[in-house]
Amino acid sequence: MEAESTLDDHSRTIIHIDLDCFYAQVEMVKNPELRTLPLGIQQKNIVVTSNYIARQYGIKKCMLITEAKKMCPNLVLVKGEDLHDYRQTSYKVTTLLQKYSNLVERLGLDENFIDVTSIVNEKIEDSTRIDIVGNVFGDISDLCDCGCSDRLKIGTNIAQEIRDQIKSELNLTTCAGVGHNKLLAKIAGSKHKPNEQTVIFPNSAVELMLSLNLVSYIPGIGTTLTEQLGSINIKTVQDLHNMDFVKLKNLLGSEKAKTVHDLSFGLDRTPVKSTGKPQSIGIEDSCKSISIEKEVREKLRQLLSRLLVLVGEDGRVPKTIKLTIRKFDRKSKVSNRETRQCNINTTLFNPKDISKLTETNENKILTAIMRLFNKLVNTNKPYHITLLGLSFTKFVERPSAKSTLTKFLIKDIEVQSITNIENVQETKTTPDDSPSTSYVENSETEPEPTPKKCKFSDFIAKKRFLRDSDDCASPSKLRVAELRLNSTEKSMDTNQNISCPPDASEEVFRELPRDVQQELWEEYKQTRDRDKVCSNQLKKPNQIV
Ligand code: TTP
Ligand code: MG
């Protein structure tokens, strides 16, 4: 019995981009001298990848160093355990791809799917004759006439454009696959490597799947499923095609059986899901056994400072920190990983540069981390830590970089060194409202004792908050400059005292230049009603749309 026949939808155009020998390329970009040498990237005693010169010597991914050295005695090895540069490059690639579509899905560090259907549909209007760029998998003498052929042809042009841009901006070569679904695009892309691209038209989907030969090579079919299929003698894609569907259903249940069956025919309806920014940013280091608390703290301090660099590059403000440890039990000779996390007060971070913590704030975060450590490890008994990891797991966006009147003013005021409003920046941080779960320790770090703000800074902060959450209403810096100029002229006409907004400290207000006073008063008047709303909403920032 056959699976229920599925009508295939050819309406989408999807590109899969895979960076060539990714870690090795990043190292070659950093050190171009490596380009002409056989290069392997070493993690522990394994070559995790190698450049294409090394591959000519038979070096394969995950080969033991000893074996690789035998095959290629001149192999240059670069340590690839610190993933920082690879992650950073990976995000640069994704960011570049996001210019082409908002549907970009990351798969690991070096692969991305891009749904380019919208651009294709725009381009198809003006296209008369469309040439295919790159390789084609299969026969194109009998293409489908639903319009997908032209769409996919345009897709090949877009893929080339994207790859050219990745090369020119990041100096990285890639492979691309173009298809009407993710599965076919990914497999097609692997057909010509490195630095090439391949399109697959729907009429060749079955042929492409059969070309994989083994079911284990079908993306989405992992080890467990391969073993399950093996138990009823399904080893190849052809075996799967010949299999009675009822038998498959009995083995896997109807839903999984249908998915596996569909995949084997190149059918895949899963959407390209926009990945966005990572949900967590972390690093970990394995180490020789650490058994002294002071050493743990020192190691964590180093990890924290490396982690802050990553978070600084990401740009968001972290709200939760997670500690991971691996304990080695000498008796049982077993290692266990454990994690614990706590919230951190976002005001500890400098919103201008997250990577730079004051010493006091660094110590506060470290103390919180050590508290987590003490919950995971009884330090009164001997212990052996063989891995320490830190990650930030929840984030809030930094204050918008768009100009607002208040930011403009704050900048000016800072320049004028009126120090009693220096804490204004801190009021923009979002209150920590993350739900606590059983494993989340709330408020592990004491909130920074917020210095008492003068009423004036509250006034500015309130307005700033309102503006930030209402960008459309934010005047541009230019418009503000004009406004200031006008108000300066106005204030010159009169020697009368300008009224001080009721929320502001009279003392501070009087120290401000007259034009700024004027502007603040006018601003106050204009936004008086909105400020009322804002002061309510400040308590519930999530409700501000
Ligand atoms: P891959 O895409 O599998 O390989 P690659 O990009 O190095 O080479 P190709 O040209 O064939 O695409 O993996 C991406 C990176 O992931 C790779 O550069 C190194 C890393 N990696 C590991 O850390 N561990 C592993 O077991 C494998 C296979 C890769
Ligand atoms: Mg790759």
Residue-wise pLDDT for 124-156, tens only, equals: 887 778 999 999 999 999 999 999 999 999 999
The confidence score (pLDDT) of residue 408 equals 34
Please state the atom number of ligand 1 nearest to the C-alpha of residue 193: 10
The SS3 assignment for 171 reads coil
Give yes or no for residue 500 CB within 6 A of ligand 1. no
Q: Smallest Cα–Cα separation from 323: which of 295, 351, 301?
A: 301
Give CA–CA dist 397/280, Å, rounded. 14
Rounded CA gap, 204 and 184, in Å?
A: 10
Range in 7-16, 204-213, 320-329, 490-499 with the lowest mean pLDDT? 490-499
Highest-confidence segment of 290-299, 490-499, 505-514: 290-299
Q: Is the CB of 174 under 6 A from ligand 1?
A: no
Dihedral sign, Cα of residue 158, residue 162, residue 164, residue 165? positive
Ligand 1: distance of its center to the CA of 278 in Å? Answer: 20
Model confidence pLDDT, tens digit, residues 247-279: 999 999 999 999 999 999 999 999 999 987 778
Indicate which atom in ligand 1 lies nearest the CA of residue 24.
18
Residue in 16, 17, 42, 48 to alter for ligand 1 test, most ligand atoms within 8 A of Cβ: 48
For 470-491, what is the mean pLDDT?
29
Distance 300 CA to ligand 1 centre (A): 29
Instruction: Enter the tokens of residue 79.
Output: 């340590």
- Does residue 448 register a pLDDT over 70? no
For the chain, percent of residues with pLDDT exceeding 90: 61
Asked whether the beta carbons of 112 and 77 are under 8 A apart, the reply is no
The average pLDDT across 17-33 equals 98
Residue pair 193/175 in contact by the 8 Å Cβ criterion? yes
CA distance linking residue 247 with residue 41, whole number of Å:
44
Q: What is the pLDDT of residue 35?
A: 98
Domains detected in the chain: 14-21+82-209 (3.30.70.270), 280-396 (3.30.1490.100), 402-431+450-538 (no CATH)
Distance CA(538)–CA(461), nearest Å, equals: 10
Rounded Cα distance, 82 and 415, in Å? 41
Q: Which atom of ligand 1 is nearest to the CA of 110?
A: 14
The number of helix segments (H) and strand segments (E) in the chain equals: 19, 15
First to last CA, the chain: 54
Ligand 1 proximity of 218 Cβ (cutoff 6 Å):
no
Residue 52 CA: which ligand 1 atom is closest? 10
Beta-carbon contacts of residue 31 (< 8 Å; ≥ 6 apart):
none
Distance 26 CA to ligand 2 centre (A): 12
pLDDT of residue 67: 98
Give Cα separations from 40 to 49, 50, 51, 175, 286 (angstroms): 6, 4, 7, 20, 21
Output 467 or 14, whichever has higher pLDDT.
14
Q: Which of 182-186, 411-415, 541-545 is predicted least confidently? A: 541-545
62 lines ligand 1 (CB under 6 A): yes
Cβ-Cβ contacts under 8 Å for 14 (sequence gap 6 or more) = 113, 114, 115, 116, 117, 155, 178, 179, 180, 181, 182, 185, 272
The beta-carbon contacts of 455-459 under 8 Å, at least 24 apart in sequence, are: 455/503, 455/504, 455/505, 456/421, 456/503, 456/504, 456/505, 456/508, 456/509, 457/420, 457/421, 457/423, 457/424, 457/427, 458/427, 458/503, 459/501, 459/503, 459/504, 459/524
Position 486 scores a pLDDT of: 30
Counting ligands in written order, the one closest to the CA of 195 is: 1
Q: What's the pLDDT score for residue 393?
A: 87
Confidence of residue 444 (pLDDT cuts 50, 70, 90): very low
Q: What separation in Å is there between the alpha carbon of 41 and the centre of ligand 1?
A: 10
43-100 tens-digit pLDDT:
999 999 999 999 999 999 999 999 999 999 999 999 999 898 999 899 999 989 998 9
27 in contact with ligand 1, CB cutoff 6 A: no
CA of 394 to the centre of ligand 2 (A): 29
* Distance (Å) of CA 416 to CA 487, 505, 511: 19, 17, 10
Say what the pLDDT of residue 515 is: 65
Whether the CB of 93 sits within 6 Å of ligand 1: no
**469, pLDDT greater than 90:** no
Q: How many A from CA of 48 to the centre of ligand 1?
A: 6
pLDDT of 204 over the 50 cut: yes
The pLDDT assigned to 209 comes to 98
Q: Whose CA is nearest to atom 15 of ligand 1?
A: 22
pLDDT on residue 71: 97
- What pLDDT was estimated at residue 275? 86
Tell how far the Cα of 27 is from the centroid of ligand 1, in angstroms: 13
Q: Which ligand is nearest to the CA of 61?
A: 1
Q: How far is CA 183 from each of CA 189, 291, 411, 522, rounded to the nearest angstrom?
A: 10, 48, 52, 60
One-letter amino acid for residue 289 of the chain: S
Q: How does the average pLDDT of the chain come out, rounded? A: 79
Residue 471 in this model has a pLDDT that exceeds 50: no
Check pocket membership of 21 for ligand 1, CB cut-off 6 A.
yes
Q: What is residue 473's DSSP assignment? A: G
The CA-based angle 209-210-216, given to 5 degrees, is 70
Q: Is the pLDDT of residue 460 over 60?
A: no
Catalytic residues: 111
Atom from ligand 1 closest to the CA of residue 49: 7
Measured in degrees and rounded to the nearest 5, phi and psi for residue 372 equal: -65, -40
- Is the beta carbon of 176 within 6 A of some atom in ligand 1? no
Q: Atom 27, ligand 1: which residue's CA is nearest?
A: 48
Pick the ligand that lies closest to the CA of residue 109.
1
Instruction: Classify residue 488 by burial, with Cβ atoms within 10 Å: 0-12, 13-18, 19+.
Output: middle
Of the given ranges (304-318, 381-395, 516-530), which has the lowest mean pLDDT? 516-530
Question: What does the pLDDT read at residue 531?
Answer: 40
User: What is the average pLDDT across 271-289?
Assistant: 86
Query: Ligand 1 within 6 A of 219 CB?
Result: no
State the pLDDT confidence band at 313, using cuts at 50, 70 and 90.
confident
What residues contact residue 478 under an 8 Å CB cut-off, 6+ apart? none
Angle between helices 359-376 and 293-314 (to 10 degrees): 120
Please tell me if the CB atom of residue 401 comes closer than 6 angstroms to any atom of ligand 1: no
Which pLDDT band, with edges at 50, 70 and 90, does 526 fall under?
Answer: low
Task: Give the atom of ligand 1 at the shortest distance from the alpha carbon of 18.
Answer: 12
Answer yes or no: is pLDDT of 4 > 80: no
pLDDT in the model for residue 351: 82
